[in-house]
Chains A and B, each alone.
Chain A
Amino acid sequence: MANFEYAPAPESRAIVDIASSYGLFINGEFIDPIDGTPFKTVNPASEEVLAEVTAAGPADVDAAVKAARRAYDQVWSQLSGRDRGKYLFRIARIIQERSRELAVLESIDNGKPIRESRDVDIPLVAAHFFYYAGWADKLEYAGLGPDPRPYGVAGQVIPWNFPLLMLAWKIAPALAAGNTVVLKPAETTPLTALAFADICQQADLPPGVVNIVTGAGETGRALVEHPDVAKVAFTGSTEVGKQIARSVAGTAKKATLELGGKAANIVFDDAPIDQAVEGIVNGIFFNQGHVCCAGSRLLVQESVYDEVLASLKRRLGTLRVGDPLDKNTDIGAINSAEQLARIRELSEVGEAEGAERWSPPCELPDRGFWFPPTVFTGVSQAHRIAREEIFGPVLSVLTFRTPAEAVEKANNTPYGLSAGVWTEKGSRILWTSSRLRAGVVWANTFNRFDPTSPFGGYKESGYGREGGRHGLEAYLR
């Protein structure tokens, strides 16, 4: 009997309307840059140029910060919490109404499968705005003192892996707390942030409360270093996080940083194996592994190593790699040529260091940036692929014998963002999770997110929390 071949099931692109070029969103309007220069954003699945956007120059950033400052002084800080909340509710609703458009746009610009942008990213974006909208008039109950105050202008720099979701994580609490923002989306994924600017207009958000400046590292630097920025929020690499920590040293700026990770996903011998395998797959192959909290180090108890590996490999054989807009795609495109090169390089290092490399047979499209789901076995803690964040669909498998050894290996990294624990034994879960030096521990699950749930790292994975009551703390003094 023939195989059950799923015919292509592409989501229609017709719903999105991408302009040929975009200015900067400053003071409620799309404007031409003062000293910015144009650059192109491409669809990583096809290398097709999607639009020309603007790399904001220092003068542009200055204009944006000034607009935000003005909006803070004259409008936003004068508004009641209740009214701020209403704007946020309005934004949440518009996001829901435009969810399909945003999902398609996200997948086109980022390369992530439409299933994820549709079922994970965009619903969470709306949920974040809903959640923080409700806080806006209840800040005195947040446990941060009787009269918590906003900082003023928040400068926010976000990564390309969850473009609109990271925007929501940044903008929703900032506005709820009464700050105004200047946000810089990642160089390779500016389009949904620009669509969000349109949503701000649609919501009649007062001009200057949200400003979007596109660009690369230099634009981000200008924003972070701008003297009128009172609060810096960054999600991205640990390397840049350290630069930001240095740049705010000696200033009054408050910084929160959500950085890299090298999470251990620990599978004990009494784990629910089938769900653990799903968790491993979700942990490292969700969003092509472009996830700071990805479970990139699998730690398997030796007694179930063969079982888990066999199950995992069989499961990887069913992963569908390809067109991000196909509703059945599990793994989409790598976000950029640059990122692909890094993944390739580290994978080659893994091989050179003696780890065994395996990928399921899968056909990759000719154009665009692609990398097959890859598993390295025979990895030790000393290998670079077990220490460095690869930020791609590459899993390193290590083994352990005792719970103490598992915890020791899991913690043996400068990072501390997340971890996974799989066991059917309740007390072992609590024992293990209390010893893991990580900000989020997923027990018998992985990569779950919710606006009510604080997220953030220990050690070099950064500081501050996003989500929940704790997430407000970053935007109030």
Chain B
Amino acid sequence: MTVLEALDAARVSEITASETSLRRFLHGLPGVDQVGADARAAMLATRSIKTTAKKWAIDLAISMIDLTTLEGQDTPGKVRALCSKAQRPDPSDPSVPAVAAVCVYPDLAGVAAKALAGSGIHVASVATGFPSGRTSLEVKLADTREAIAAGADEVDMVIDRGAFLAGRYGQVFEEIVAVKQACGDAHLKVILETGELATYDNVRRASWLAMLAGADFIKTSTGKVAPAATLPVTLVMLEAVRDFRDATGRQVGVKAAGGIRTSKDAIRYLVLVNETAGDDWLDPNWFRIGASSLLNDLLMQRQRMSTGRYGGPDYFTLD
């Protein structure tokens, strides 16, 4: 089932050949009606996930977490603690799955890589002048290389929102291509910072732009701008990866980051994935949740489901 025109390699290079052709393509994508997208997301948020489904969803959500600390006050100690939490989220219960990755600033990527060595948990580092992206391309590339050299196997880059909003799509495209090249084998997540893009039309265009430039993942937010991830924005991005795979055959992942704090929130995102992009994305390789406090809430819910009683924060580690 093809929803959009088929995009083979030749067609893609034609589209990305110039600013004009990129613009023509991105502005030719179907529009997104904001109210309709909001309504669809709100409807999906009413799904009631209970019992076995909830249990399954909680474990899946845990396994999709990019456990994140991105603070000026971060220290190697804080990162090490986070890494140990990432591997065994609930020390009292070995059946709890590990998270997908630990996400830190580039200068701490080495600490994380060391702490997580052999665990199978990915080391994600933000880069490219995170969170604003207001540095030269050279600095961005250096930032990226530093993260990779330190052991990051996933890079969360930010796009230049100023350039995007000014319509300099070519510039944004070239930057992503360059960072992708600098990443080598590392996975590239492209942060759109949807809270600054103002419209869902822009979210869709930015998603396509990032995917055309080689993004392995598209990610909603830095977490430093409100609003961060929202259900409708994620819905639009999930539609984009779904349609992109239909058109090109290449599957791109989605990461929702920022503001997802409760199990209920997380499960709503999984429902959204399930009913928009479908089964193929219900996997830590294809959908991630960038979060910090979410993990404890998932653990608390998980415990409630297995013990039948409500837990309290004192019973979960704060790292």
Contacts and interface: CB of A to CB of B under 8 A. Distances in A.
A311 B239 CA distance: 11
A86 B108 CA distance: 66
B57 interface: yes
Interface stretch (A1-9, A37-45, A292-300): A1-9
Contacts of B283: 1
A275 B204 CA distance: 13
Contact of A7 (B31, B40, B49): B49
B279 interface: yes
Contacts of B57: 4
B46 A115 contact: yes
B30 A7 contact: no
A371 to B, nearest CB: 22
A278 B30 contact: no
B52 A311 contact: no
B31 A272 contact: yes
A1 B50 contact: no
B50 A9 contact: yes
A310 interface: yes
Given A275-B32, A275-B36, A444-B36, A7 B53 contact: yes
A462 B57 CA distance: 49
Contact of A313 (B1, B35, B53, B279): B1
B39 A278 contact: yes
A314 B3 CA distance: 10
B53 A5 contact: yes
A9 B279 contact: no
A172 interface: no
A310 B279 contact: no
Contacts of A4: 53, 56-57, 60, 270-271, 274, 279, 282
Interface string A303-333: 0001100110110001000000001100000
Interface in B138-181: none
A238 B83 CA distance: 69
Interface in B273-305: 274-275, 279, 282-283
A2 B47 contact: no
Given A1-B283, A273-B30, A310 B274 contact: no
B265 interface: no
Contacts of B88: none
Contacts of B40: 274-275, 278
Nearest to B284: A1
A274 B36 CA distance: 9
A119 B36 CA distance: 16
B307 interface: no
A279 interface: yes
A377 interface: no
Contacts of A307: 2-4
Dominant secondary structure at the B interface: helix
A271 interface: yes
Contacts of B36: 272, 274-275, 278-279, 444-445
Interface residues of B, number: 33
Given A4-B274, A7-B53, A444-B36, A327 B3 contact: no
A270 interface: yes
A204 to B, nearest CB: 35
Most buried by B among A119, A271, A311: A311
A6 B53 contact: yes
A285 to B, nearest CB: 13
Contacts of A278: 36, 39-40
B33 interface: yes
Most buried by A among B3, B4, B46, B274: B3
A1 B60 CA distance: 10
Given A4-B274, A6-B49, A274 B37 contact: yes
Contacts of B264: none
A1 B37 CA distance: 28
Nearest to A6: B53
A318 B43 CA distance: 13
Contacts of A271: 30-31
A310 B56 CA distance: 30
A396 B2 CA distance: 21
A275 B3 contact: no
A125 B36 CA distance: 23
B46 A327 contact: yes
A156 B31 CA distance: 44
A1 B279 contact: yes
Interface of A: 1-9, 115, 119, 270-275, 278-279, 306-307, 310-311, 313-314, 318, 327-328, 424, 444-445
28 contacts: A1-B279, A1-B283, A4-B56, A4-B60, A4-B274, A4-B282, A5-B56, A6-B49, A7-B54, A8-B50, A9-B49, A9-B50, A119-B46, A270-B30, A270-B31, A272-B30, A272-B31, A275-B33, A275-B36, A275-B40, A307-B4, A310-B1, A314-B1, A318-B275, A328-B47, A444-B33, A444-B36, A445-B35
Interface of B: 1-4, 30-33, 35-37, 39-40, 46-54, 56-57, 60, 239, 270-271, 274-275, 279, 282-283
Listed from nearest, the 9 A-B pairs whose CB atoms lie closest are A275-B36, A9-B48, A327-B48, A7-B53, A275-B33, A273-B30, A310-B1, A272-B33, A272-B31
